[in-house]
Amino acid sequence: MLQAQKRQILGRKVKALRKAGTLPASVYGKKVKSLPVQVQAVDFDKVFAATGETGIIQLKIEKEKETRPVLAKNRQKDPVTDKIIHIDFHQVDLKEKVTVAIPIETAGESPAVKEKSAVLVMVLDEVKVEALPQDLPEKFVVDISGLKEFNESILVKDLKVDRQKVKMLADEGETVVMVQQPKEEVEKQPPSVEAEAVPVEGEAEIKTQGEGKEPPQEKKEENQKKEG
pLDDT tens digits, one per residue of 24-59: 999 999 889 999 999 999 999 999 999 988 999 999
Mind listing the pLDDT tens digit of every residue in the chain (228 residues)?
999 999 998 888 888 999 999 999 999 998 899 999 999 999 999 999 999 889 999 999 998 999 999 999 889 998 998 989 999 999 999 999 999 999 999 999 999 999 999 999 999 999 999 999 999 999 999 999 999 999 999 999 999 999 999 999 999 999 999 999 987 633 444 555 554 555 554 544 444 444 444 555 555 555 555 555
Concatenating the DSSP letter of every residue in 9-37 gives --GGGHHHHHHTTEEEEEEEETTEEEEEE
- Model pTM score: 0.70
- H/E stretch holding 222 reads helix 216-227
Residue type, 26: S
| R_g of the chain, CA atoms, integer Å | 38
Domains for the chain: give ranges and CATH numbers. Answer: 2-93 (2.40.240.10), 99-180 (2.170.120.20)
**Cα–Cα–Cα angle for 57, 60, 64, nearest 5°?**
140
Q: Which residues pair with 90 in a beta bridge?
A: 28, 71
Q: Tell me how far apart the alpha carbons of residues 60 and 27 are, in angstroms, rounded to a whole number.
A: 12
Residues 6+ apart with CB under 8 A from 174: 123, 124, 155, 156
Q: Tell me how far apart the alpha carbons of residues 91 and 2 are, in angstroms, rounded to a whole number.
A: 13
Q: Tell me how far apart the alpha carbons of residues 89 and 97 are, in angstroms, rounded to a whole number.
A: 16
Task: Select from 122, 127, 113 the least CA-distant residue to 160.
Answer: 127
